[in-house]
Amino acid sequence: MLLPASHHLHLAVFPRSSLLPTAALAFSLSFSYSSMAVSVEEQQKEQPSKPMSEPSIVDEEGVKPSNGEDDEDDGDDFEEEEEEEEEEEDEILNGESKMHSYKAKMENLFNRISRERVPLRVHDVVIKGNTKTKDSLIEAEVEALKNVNTIQELLQAATIANARLHLLEIFDSVNITLDSGPPELPGTANVIVEVVETKNPLTGTIGMFSKPEARSWSLEGSLKLKNLFGYGDLWDGTLVYGWDQTSEVSAGLSLPRFKGLVTPVIARVSLLSQDWLKCSSYKERSLGLSLGLISLKNHDLAYNLSWRTLTDPSQMSSRSIRRQLGHGLLSSLKYTFKIDKRNSPLRPTRGYAFVSTSYIGGLVPDYRSLRFFRQEFDLRYAFPLGFYRTALNFGISGGVIFPWGRGFLNMPSSLPERFFLGGNSSPVCSLGGPTTLLGFKSRGLGPSEPRRQIKENSNSESSETYSGRDFLGGDLALTAFADLSFDLPLRVFREAGIHGHVFACAGNLTKLTENAFRDLSFRKFRDSFRSSAGFGIIVPTKLFRMEVNYCYILKQLEHDRGKTGVQFSFSSPL
């Protein structure tokens, strides 16, 4: 049998950490020997106390009187003491030998595990500690433990099960213990999963963030209620209030295991309001429902249904914007394929990441349904240079959108679904598609049209003209960046995670719909790329992530909104 019947193996499984950079799996092993002989100290305590001999009678001269019987008794007592001492020594030697024997057996077991595959089958999985969580939920997460054939597979499955249980966000701790199976079934083990449910099921966050390029601030808060019905259900509500730009109220529900489904069920209802009057002369308001259909390690499929309204309170929008105003029905499927092997999403120093997102809209047979196909991708790669934690990050992202249906070549694409470039968000942290171009304002480049001109006549018969340009977005977008990050020489900065970086980025977007693709050429698209470069300092904290950059505009076109100078950005610490 693999383990003695009186032993159990405790697996405190932890995720891979920086403390063990070379270990693919970190676990602690502790053993209890219920049948092992007690320790020397315990044995000595258990020994019966020796009877005290009677006090000796001494005469006045200090000589103890003796006779033959007394001498015989003294001899017998001395022999008995020697026998007791020998028995104690034998017991101590037996205890020590058993300790060495068990230790040798466990060392042999570890050596055997490291050298070869040790056969082992799981006889039973016992769940302890769950007072509110359903057994079926935990059993579904540790199902893989029952299918192992070796102890190596069991260790790997225990690590995965531990991580899956922690991802539920309803347990404070998870311990997995390997115990010996029934004596009549050699080579088997029982797995004991002991969990500690979270003490406070209600959590919340709040923060204030800025977008200096749009001159706006937003207050964001969220509440989460965990495991209300014991199915690992996660209820959350989110409120985002932005001054002069975006406001959102949403509520969602996530069920990790619903009716035995392999993937979680996610549903969310949201009310969104966005103000783009300053850059595109329209406001957007939408009421939507999102359903997560498939959510696996690298794949995600979701369905979105929303009723959208575009308005222009200023009545100054350009002709292309006015054609898009009114109601619209968005019914779309979104598929995401994602691989992220970077060692950090905020400051990666090695690894790569790739994201591909596909949208298809117009799944409802309604004339107001927005019909389009949109594809975007994002590729990142980081590698260290070997000094001061210096790392070089490269990234390239692109996207295209096109309407579909009868006469689609002459139709414009949906305005909110187009690509817009600009903003001060970090291109290293934003993974998902072409959006950021440092040094340019949000929605600050690309195709644009003049707004309506409104003349107001005064009593002096003079006239005043109000004009500007609306940025329309593009159907084809492409961006690229290079970022060199490094530690600052002062130790206090390194300990706080404050670091510097030097960057360069470029991007472009253009129109393809309404037969505009006929005028597009590779040379024309290449020559119209915008670019910028600069350097800055990044200050990460638990509450926010601040980035201070000096941006120098290398190239911009006539109506672009790019500016050389210092830019600030505050974002979520993720």
pLDDT digits (tens, 9 = 90+) for 133-189: 988 888 888 888 888 888 888 888 888 888 888 888 899 989 988 888 888 888 888
Handedness of CA 556, 558, 560, 563 (dihedral sign): positive
**481 phi, psi to nearest 5 deg:** -150, 160
pLDDT band at 33 (very low <50, low <70, confident <90, very high): very low
d(CA 344, CA 100): 45
- What residues contact 124, with CB distance under 8 A and at least 6 apart? 181, 190, 191
Q: Is beta strand 463-466 parallel, antiparallel or unpaired with respect to 476-487?
A: unpaired
Q: Which of 32, 27, 2 is nearest to 17 (CA)?
A: 27
Q: Is beta strand 234-242 parallel, antiparallel or unpaired with respect to 246-255?
A: antiparallel
Residues 150, 293, single domain; the answer is: no
Q: Which of 490, 494, 445, 491 is nearest to 472 (CA)?
A: 445
If one counts the domains in the chain, the total is: 2
DSSP secondary structure string for all residues of 143-155: GGGGG--BHHHHH
Residues 153, 296, single domain; the answer is: no
Residues 355, 426, single domain; the answer is: yes
- What residues contact 321, with CB distance under 8 A and at least 6 apart? 280, 281, 282, 312, 415, 449, 470, 472
Q: Residues 214-227: what's their mean pLDDT?
A: 78
- For residue 18, is it within any domain? no
Residues 154, 297, single domain; the answer is: no
Give the CA distances from residue 373 to residues 300, 357, 362, 402, 525, in Å, rounded to whole numbers and listed in that order: 17, 11, 9, 5, 22
Q: Are 534 and 564 in contact (CB under 8 A)?
A: no
Q: What is the CATH number of the domain that holds 487?
A: 2.40.160.50
**pLDDT greater than 80 at residue 34:** no
Residues 543, 408, single domain; the answer is: yes
Residues 262, 389, single domain; the answer is: yes
**216 phi, psi to nearest 5 deg:** -140, 155
Give the CA distances from residue 224 to residues 170, 204, 234, 241, in Å, rounded to whole numbers and listed in that order: 11, 6, 7, 18
Range of the domain at 150: 104-197
Residues 266, 405, single domain; the answer is: yes
Q: What is the DSSP letter of 228?
A: S
Q: Are 486 and 499 in contact (CB under 8 A)?
A: yes
- For residue 14, is it within any domain? no
**pLDDT greater than 80 at residue 253:** yes
pLDDT band at 455 (very low <50, low <70, confident <90, very high): low
- For residue 11, is it within any domain? no
- What residues contact 192, with CB distance under 8 A and at least 6 apart? 125, 126, 128, 176, 177, 178, 179
pLDDT band at 313 (very low <50, low <70, confident <90, very high): very high
- For residue 109, is it within any domain? yes
Task: Give residue-wise pLDDT tens across range 78-88.
Answer: 555 556 666 66
Q: What is the CATH number of the domain that holds 167?
A: 3.10.20.310
Q: Please list the helix, strand and coil fractions of the chain in percent, rounded to the nearest 5, in that order.
A: 20, 45, 35
Residues 183, 329, single domain; the answer is: no
238 - beta bridge partners?
222, 250
Residues 192, 309, single domain; the answer is: no
- For residue 54, is it within any domain? no
Q: Is beta strand 171-180 parallel, antiparallel or unpaired with respect to 469-471?
A: unpaired
pLDDT band at 214 (very low <50, low <70, confident <90, very high): very low
Residues 187, 267, single domain; the answer is: no
- For residue 323, is it within any domain? yes
27 - beta bridge partners?
13
Q: What is the pLDDT of residue 5?
A: 43
- For residue 17, is it within any domain? no
- For residue 217, is it within any domain? no
**pLDDT greater than 50 at residue 4:** no
Residues 150, 271, single domain; the answer is: no
**pLDDT greater than 90 at residue 395:** yes
Residues 334, 396, single domain; the answer is: yes
d(CA 16, CA 18): 7
Q: Chain-centre distance of CA 63, in angstroms?
A: 88
Helix (H, G, I), strand (E, B) or coil at 321: helix
**pLDDT greater than 60 at residue 40:** no
d(CA 508, CA 556): 10
- What residues contact 296, with CB distance under 8 A and at least 6 apart? 263
Q: Which of 197, 218, 236 is the last residue of a domain?
A: 197
Helix (H, G, I), strand (E, B) or coil at 558: coil
pLDDT band at 391 (very low <50, low <70, confident <90, very high): very high
Q: Which of 393, 484, 472 is nearest to 431 (CA)?
A: 393
Tokens 């090695």, located at residue: 350
Size (the chain), residues? 574
Q: Which of 132, 164, 197 is the last residue of a domain?
A: 197
Q: Which of 165, 197, 229 is the last residue of a domain?
A: 197
As a whole-number percent, the residues of the chain with pLDDT over 90 amount to 39
Q: Are 508 and 399 in contact (CB under 8 A)?
A: no
Q: What is the pLDDT of residue 188?
A: 86
**pLDDT greater than 60 at residue 230:** yes
**269 phi, psi to nearest 5 deg:** -115, 135
Q: Residues 252-276: what's their mean pLDDT?
A: 85
310: enclosing H helix or E strand: strand 299-311
Q: Are 172 and 139 in contact (CB under 8 A)?
A: no
Handedness of CA 45, 47, 48, 53 (dihedral sign): negative
